[in-house]
Structure 1
Amino acid sequence: MKFTTLPNTDIKVSKICLGTMTWGEQNTEAEGHEQIEFALEKGVNFLDTAEMYSIPGKAETQGSTEKIIGTWFKKSGKREDVILTSKVVGPGNSMEHIRDNLGFSKEAITDALHKSLKRLQTDYIDLYQLHWPERNTNFFGKLGYEHDEEEKWEENFQEVLETLNEFVKEGKIRQVGLSNETPYGLSRFLEESRKHDLPKMITIQNPYNLLNRKDEIGLTEILHRENVGLFPYSPLGMGTLSGKHLDGIQENSRLGLFPQYKRYSNEHAVKATIAYAEIAKKYNLNFAQMSLAFVNTRPFVSSNIIGATSIKQLEENIGSIEVKLSEEVLEEINKVHEAYPNPAP
């Protein structure tokens, strides 16, 4: 395993992070525990979760993933062996089952954090992230920003950081970060942290893969210049970039079970996937590992969030850390990207 240090901290994490959002939906508690143990054996020390998991979000399973991690902590006594992240949800339709007070008010964050700590059976979270912005912006499959003149949101970057700072001082969270955020949002949080000596957002968790490199357009310059790390999620595009859907959506796969997730199935995304698969075949590379290795080796990536529903998948995904891509492979990947830029934002 390879390791990195989270920006502006002394927290050492594996370059592969174990994503957990299927636990409680596609995976049982026993399977979640098995995945943690297997990942630890392979050198992974980093777990990512959220208060709304498992996914897709619904009342019957909300918080189930944190509970599964919590029972593993209690059973194993290995809380100190793991770097743990979780997230607080922003506002959204059909999210009322999570809490009555959605968003990032002091009341909402306080409620969310304490409920997460209880489910996780721990006294602290190493990295606490805002799951998505409160304001209307271009996230979840939308490339272009469209301004909403009717928007009710009022700027509150300083207030949010002040709330988080209280929990940092109390020792309930160690560091703070963002998720599904834009260059504007990250920049504003960084500005307020400097201006008022408040905690810095050290990471941002966004979708990033061969079919979605949109963050290279504006965000990655900020990451480099401000020393902020990227946690890519969906590095395989919900399994698309393993090649398993090239002959049709697999029945028991995530895309088969939840057809509402269509962002990786449009015409241009399919054509790009076929082209990337040909590169893997040409150079005798495992397609999934090639896709992950590309993400692993980007200089702005702190840790790559992988997910799996089986130990076999998990072993293959973790194994991508040992895969090196030649300059020839990278050149061919970039040619495909130029032909089909960001077909699955």
Structure 2
Amino acid sequence: MKYTTIPNTDIKVSKICLGTMTFGEQNSEAEGHEQMDYALANGVNFFDTAELYSVPARAETYGATEKIIGTWLKKTGNRDKVVIASKIAGAGPYTAHIRSNGFAKEALISAVEGSLQRLQTDYIDLYQLHWPERGVNCFGLRDYPYQTAAKEAENHLEILETLKDLKKQGKIRSIGLSNETPWGTMKYLQTAKDHDLPRMSTIQNSYSLIHRAYEYGMSEVSLREDIGLLVYSPLGFGVLSGKYLNGQMPEDSRVKLFPNYNRYSSPQSEKAVSAYQKIAEKHGMTLAEMSLAFINQLPFVTSNIIGASKMSQLKENIGSIHIDLSEEIISEINHVHALMPNPAP
């Protein structure tokens, strides 16, 4: 395994992070425990979750993923061996069953307390804002919705002041963003600087060979402001495994089970995926291995969040850390990207 450090902290994390949002829906508690056992045994010390999980978000499974991680921590006694990241859900239709006050002080305190209880731990290593309260172009929305975006943005000052109190109490160690934009990220960083408040260390946004929009503005913010990217959906809901090519639709796959998870499944995406698969085959790799290895070597990436519903997928994904792509392969990948840039929104 390779390791890095969450920016502006002393928290050492593996370059591969175990995403857990399938625990409690596609994966049982026993299967979740098996995944965590295997990940830790193979050097993965970083687990990412959220109060919203498992997905798709439903009142019946709210907090289920954190509970499964919590029972594993209690059973194994491995709390000091792993770094746990979680998130508070932002306002919106996904969270009607959770709360209605977004990132208000009371909401943040309640969310942290709830996660600590479910995780059966005294602290969360990295606490993230799952998505902005204001309207932005995330979750498959390509363009900024300027016609309908709220004029008021988050109360950045109150949010950071509340997170500072939670840090002081020892309940969280570091803080991060998710599904954010360059403006939102810089606003948090500037507010922290102006008021001597905790600084956002990471941002968790989607990135994959078919969705490289992070490079348009956020990658420069990451590099110049030292805020590390935690990549989610690096395989585009499994699309970059190639298993959906030529009309295939495995019965137990995520897109088959949840048809509205079609963000990465456009005809344009399939053309790009087919081209990327030819490159992987030419160089003796699976498409999933190449897709993950490309992300692992990016200078603005702190950790690559992989997720799997099967152990075979998990082993392949973790194994990608041992693959170094040559300049020739990267050049071929970038050639496809130039011809078909960001086919998925």
Matched, 1:37 2:37: yes
Q: Which residue of 1 aligns with 2:137?
A: 138
In the TM superposition, residue 192 of structure 1 has moved relative to its aligned partner by 0.4
In the TM superposition, residue 310 of structure 1 has moved relative to its aligned partner by 1.3
Return the alpha-carbon distance in structure 1 between the equivalents of residues 46 and 136 of structure 2.
Answer: 29
For residues 11-160 of structure 1, the aligned pairs below 5 Å read 11-99=11-99, 101-148=100-147, 151=150, 153-160=152-159
In the TM superposition, residue 155 of structure 1 has moved relative to its aligned partner by 4.3
Return the alpha-carbon distance in structure 1 between the equivalents of residues 313 and 94 of structure 2.
Answer: 31
* 1:181-203 C-alpha deviation (Å, 9 max, x unpaired): 01110000000011111010000
Query: Aligned partner of 2:196: which letter?
Result: D
Query: Aligned partner of 2:319: which letter?
Result: G
Query: Aligned partner of 1:134: which letter?
Result: E
Matched, 1:184 2:183: yes
Kept after mapping to 2: 8 A contact 1:130/1:178: yes
Return the alpha-carbon distance in structure 2 between the equivalents of residues 196 and 150 of structure 1.
Answer: 27
Q: Which residue of 1 aligns with 2:163?
A: 164
Kept after mapping to 2: 8 A contact 1:17/1:304: yes
* 1:240-274 C-alpha deviation (Å, 9 max, x unpaired): 11111113222210111011011111111110000
Instruction: For residue 13 of structure 2, give the secondary structure of its aligned residue in structure 1.
Output: strand
Q: Which residue of 2 aligns with 1:341?
A: 341
Q: Which residue of 2 aligns with 1:219?
A: 218
Provide structure 1 residue ranges, at least 5 long, that are not aligned to the other structure. none
Kept after mapping to 2: 8 A contact 1:134/1:153: no
* 1:281-337 C-alpha deviation (Å, 9 max, x unpaired): 111112110000001110000000000111111111000000111111100100110
In the TM superposition, residue 150 of structure 1 has moved relative to its aligned partner by 7.0
Change (3 A) 1:73 1:279: same
Q: Which residue of 1 aligns with 2:2?
A: 2
* 1:21-54 C-alpha deviation (Å, 9 max, x unpaired): 0000000000001100000110000000000000
In the TM superposition, residue 179 of structure 1 has moved relative to its aligned partner by 0.4
Query: Aligned partner of 2:261: which letter?
Result: Y
Q: State the TM-score, normalizing by the size of structure 1.
A: 0.98
Matched, 1:210 2:214: no
Query: Aligned partner of 2:137: which letter?
Result: N
Instruction: For residue 298 of structure 1, give the secondary structure of its aligned residue in structure 2.
Output: coil
Return the alpha-carbon distance in structure 2 between the equivalents of residues 285 and 23 of structure 1.
Answer: 28
Return the alpha-carbon distance in structure 2 between the equivalents of residues 161 and 82 of structure 1.
Answer: 25
Return the alpha-carbon distance in structure 1 between the equivalents of residues 281 and 312 of structure 2.
Answer: 21
In the TM superposition, residue 113 of structure 1 has moved relative to its aligned partner by 0.8
Return the alpha-carbon distance in structure 2 between the equivalents of residues 94 and 142 of structure 1.
Answer: 15
In the TM superposition, residue 151 of structure 1 has moved relative to its aligned partner by 2.4
Return the alpha-carbon distance in structure 1 between the equivalents of residues 153 and 265 of structure 2.
Answer: 36
Kept after mapping to 1: 8 A contact 2:240/2:291: yes
Matched, 1:246 2:245: yes
Return the alpha-carbon distance in structure 2 between the equivalents of residues 315 and 15 of structure 1.
Answer: 15
Query: Aligned partner of 1:12: which letter?
Result: K
Q: State the TM-score, normalizing by the size of structure 2.
A: 0.98
Kept after mapping to 2: 8 A contact 1:223/1:229: yes
Query: Aligned partner of 1:304: which letter?
Result: N
Return the alpha-carbon distance in structure 1 between the equivalents of residues 147 and 108 of structure 2.
Answer: 25
Q: Which residue of 2 aligns with 1:231?
A: 230
Kept after mapping to 1: 8 A contact 2:47/2:82: yes
Instruction: For residue 107 of structure 1, give the secondary structure of its aligned residue in structure 2.
Output: helix
In the TM superposition, residue 153 of structure 1 has moved relative to its aligned partner by 3.4
> CA RMSD, aligned part only?
1.1
Kept after mapping to 1: 8 A contact 2:136/2:149: no
Count matched residues. Answer: 344
Return the alpha-carbon distance in structure 1 between the equivalents of residues 16 and 84 of structure 2.
Answer: 13
Return the alpha-carbon distance in structure 2 between the equivalents of residues 343 and 150 of structure 1.
Answer: 24
Provide structure 2 residue ranges, at least 5 long, that are not aligned to the other structure. none
Change (3 A) 1:170 1:312: same
Change (3 A) 1:82 1:155: closer
Return the alpha-carbon distance in structure 1 between the equivalents of residues 145 and 65 of structure 2.
Answer: 34
Query: Aligned partner of 2:124: which letter?
Result: I
Matched, 1:198 2:209: no
Return the alpha-carbon distance in structure 1 between the equivalents of residues 149 and 216 of structure 2.
Answer: 28
